Structure 1
């Protein structure tokens, strides 16, 4: 049997650095929207014993709005705190 030589090429045999192009990746450093974005708020995990009907309502609303449970609960708590401050 004769040995056949490979008809393919070895991609590791040469460097592609000079030919590499990453134009398909969007640059986030030059985004004009970055100055408009709100600063990231630190978050913590909190655990509360809530009534089952309240939890069911939060889950229902979260599913309707396609949001996470914590996002809905967070927005409700923010609104409640805002309303409480306005009443004082």
Structure 2
């Protein structure tokens, strides 16, 4: 599982977004710059062992994200991206 961290920010020089642009580290991107598949997209083709492993990872992330008031993000399958077996 990937948990992006704030790397820095950049002042916005375009008109598409208001305010500064947040730069993140550890974003779930492959080597070509594309987002890794979502948990929802990968779930149907994963083995039961892999599904249990992903649930175990989510379970272990819950207390950490709960302490930051971000645990609800674990209930949104489109927000969870996976990297192969991890």
| TM-score relative to the length of structure 2 | 0.31
Structure having the higher strand fraction is 2
Question: Which structure has the bigger radius of gyration?
Answer: 1
Which has the higher relative contact order, 1 or 2, with Cα contacts under 8 A spaced 6 or more apart? 2
| TM-score relative to the length of structure 1 | 0.31
